[in-house]
């Protein structure tokens, strides 16, 4: 499958490498894919030139990545997601499955971050993206675990769940298939894209579990009667 | 142990009945404990006169309940918690363990409710209560599950966790002992009272799991490497 990443940070690199390893074609979209930019060090990730040398794929513009992908991943920081997706262009995203992995976290007051009020309360980043790109089939997924766990859930022993939501059943099924290829077996389907409120609200809990529990390899299992 | 409930709704009635059944002395504090008020129907709860007739205990004022309890439970609606605790009086709560079960939910836009921005972001209701009552040992607990599950965790099969946070280790230990008496075996200690941010953020997720999953008998298990 042709897959476009919107964003070249640690999450995009990790998902992209795992997808390439499973035989997909992957491009990473960034604001400026110049040779100089690709050589730059990146926080919690490798220079993109090193990533390409190791994994294959290529680095292109946001718009080229959106145009290329049958499935597109939003792996930008939540504060920049709408700007990056706007640069990627609605026409390039129309009809596509857009997996929204981003979290609208505000780090302005240090740790722990909190949910940006713009996308908290009776809304969410996932819903804001779906509203801004009505022709795109937005699926919120993978936003509640560390990047390493996204593509290797077995790093955490025992049962635990991937949360997913979205308005389009076929789009959700496509994302579940990708997740299964990474080894996911437990899923918590939170219904339509309003479920993104719940998924993004996991972040304050996840960060706290990480900082008080000593490992970012932490996730949740839903238990029901 | 002498236990005071601040609030006479379904949560206070359920916790109170379970504590009476385990041999504790329990009073329920309400704004106005007149015979007329006690006879009134209550949403998702029975008239308090019926509760006393069935379970024992008695109904008193907020201040009398706070003065009576060695352990005091805040089982008011989050929007009214600080007013109720102020009526209960800081002097009556000084040195006491205060178990904060409340959630600052805003139902003004219907279902699903969302976290009141006053107590979301870089703060929480639990922290606001601790700040307003610095002589009181606030422990956030029991706020992430249905009332029936609080006192009977076995209603949900399999492993699942009770989240707890607070600044005072002895106070947390006292609350854990009460939880164990209800049958709880899984605990997720979220550290000091800042953990209340994480616990209150569970609510949007919990409500969504309930409404999409068809049962309010739902909880979370923390899985870690």
For residue A23, the enclosing domain spans: 2-213
Note whether residue A225 is domain-resident: no
Strand, coil or helix: what is B190?
coil
Residue B202, exposed/middle/buried by CB under 10 A (0-12, 13-18, 19+)? buried
Note whether residue B221 is domain-resident: no
β-strand partners of B138: B98
Closest CA to B212 of A198, A127, A145: A198
Distance from C-alpha of B104 to C-alpha of A201, rounded to nearest angstrom: 14
Note whether residue B164 is domain-resident: yes
Read off the pLDDT of residues A109-131 as tens digits, 9 standing for 90 and up. 998 999 999 999 999 999 999 99
The pLDDT of residue B43? 86
The pLDDT of residue B104? 98
Distance from C-alpha of B97 to C-alpha of B87, rounded to nearest angstrom: 17
Read off the pLDDT of residues B123-155 as tens digits, 9 standing for 90 and up. 999 999 999 999 999 999 999 999 999 999 999
Chain B residues with CB-CB distance to A145 below 8 A: none
Cis peptide before B112 (omega within 30 of 0): yes
* Residue B173 CB partners (closer than 8 Å, separation 6+): none
Task: Give B186's pLDDT tier (boundaries 50, 70, 90).
Answer: very high
Read off the pLDDT of residues A163-215 as tens digits, 9 standing for 90 and up. 999 999 999 999 999 999 999 999 999 999 999 999 999 999 999 999 999 99
Tell me if A157 and B219 make a contact (CB, 8 A cut-off): no
Interface A-B: count of C-beta contacts within 8 A: 142
Note whether residue A141 is domain-resident: yes
Distance from C-alpha of B131 to C-alpha of B192, rounded to nearest angstrom: 13
Tell me if A201 and B199 make a contact (CB, 8 A cut-off): no
Count of C-beta atoms within a 10 Å radius of residue B79: 18
Tell me if A195 and B208 make a contact (CB, 8 A cut-off): yes
CATH of the domain at B175: 3.40.50.720
Tell me if B208 and A215 make a contact (CB, 8 A cut-off): no
- Average pLDDT, stretch B41-55? 96
Closest CA to B111 of B9, B199, B211, B43: B211
The pLDDT of residue B182? 98
pLDDT higher than threshold 90 for residue B178:
yes
Flag whether residue A56 sits within 8 Å of chain B, measured between CB atoms. Answer: no
Quick one: what percent of chain B has pLDDT higher than 90?
98
Note whether residue A224 is domain-resident: no
Read off the pLDDT of residues B210-221 as tens digits, 9 standing for 90 and up. 999 999 999 999
Read off the pLDDT of residues B155-173 as tens digits, 9 standing for 90 and up. 999 999 999 999 999 999 9
Count of C-beta atoms within a 10 Å radius of residue A190: 25
How do beta strands A2-6 and A71-74 pair? parallel
pLDDT higher than threshold 90 for residue B190:
yes
pLDDT higher than threshold 90 for residue A149:
yes
* Residue B180 CB partners (closer than 8 Å, separation 6+): none
Read off the pLDDT of residues B56-94 as tens digits, 9 standing for 90 and up. 999 999 999 999 999 999 999 999 999 999 999 999 999
Note whether residue B205 is domain-resident: yes
The pLDDT of residue B49? 98
Chain A residues with CB-CB distance to B143 below 8 A: none
CA B132 from chain centre, in angstroms, equals: 17
Note whether residue A179 is domain-resident: yes
Q: Nearest CB to A222: which of B199, B204, B218?
A: B218
**Cα of A114 to nearest chain B Cα, Å:** 5
The pLDDT of residue B58? 97
Q: Decide if the complex's ipTM is over 0.95.
A: yes
Q: pLDDT averaged over chain A?
A: 97
Looking at chain A, how many residues does it have?
225
Asked whether the beta carbons of B46 and B13 are under 8 A apart, the reply is yes
Number of domains chain B is built from: 1
Note whether residue B39 is domain-resident: yes
**If phi over 0 gives left and psi between -120 and 50 gives alpha, with beta otherwise, what is residue A214?**
left
3-state secondary structure chain A: CEEEEECCCHHHHHHHHHHHHCCCEEEEEECCCCHHHHHCCECCECCHHHHHHHHCCEEEEHHHHHHHCCEEEECCCHHHHHHHHHHHCHHHHCCCEEEECCCCEECCCCCCCEECHHHCCCCCHHHHHHHHCCCCEEEEECCCCCHHHHHCHHHCCCCCCEEEEECCHHHHHHHHHHHHHCCCCCEEECCCCCHHHHHHHHHHHHHHHHHHHCCCCEEEEEEEC
pLDDT higher than threshold 90 for residue A64:
yes
Tell me if B212 and A190 make a contact (CB, 8 A cut-off): yes
The pLDDT of residue A43? 86
* Residue A36 CB partners (closer than 8 Å, separation 6+): none
Residue B211, exposed/middle/buried by CB under 10 A (0-12, 13-18, 19+)? middle
Strand, coil or helix: what is B34?
coil
């Amino acid at each position: 499958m042709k897959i476009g990443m919107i964003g070249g940070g640690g999450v995009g690199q990790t998902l992209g490498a795992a997808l390439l390893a499973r035989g997909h074609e992957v491009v990473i979209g960034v604001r400026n894919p110049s040779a100089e930019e690709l050589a730059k060090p990146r926080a919690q990730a490798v220079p993109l030139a090193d990533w390409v040398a190791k994994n294959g794929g290529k680095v292109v513009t946001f718009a080229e990545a959106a145009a290329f992908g049958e499935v597109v991943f939003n792996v930008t920081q939540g504060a920049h997601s709408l700007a990056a997706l706007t640069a990627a262009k609605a026409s390039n995203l129309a009809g596509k499955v857009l997996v929204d992995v981003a979290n609208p976290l505000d780090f302005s007051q240090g740790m722990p971050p909190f949910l940006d009020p713009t996308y908290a309360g009776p809304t969410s980043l996932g819903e804001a993206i779906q509203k801004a790109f009505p022709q795109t089939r937005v699926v919120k997924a993978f936003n509640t675990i560390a990047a390493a766990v996204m593509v290797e859930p077995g790093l955490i022993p025992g049962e635990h769940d991937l949360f997913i939501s979205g308005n389009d059943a076929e789009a959700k099924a496509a994302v579940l298939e990708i997740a299964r290829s990474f080894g996911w077996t437990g899923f918590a389907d939170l219904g339509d894209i309003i479920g993104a409120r719940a998924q993004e609200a996991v972040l304050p809990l996840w960060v706290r579990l990480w900082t008080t529990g000593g490992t970012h390899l932490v996730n949740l299992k839903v238990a029901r009667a």
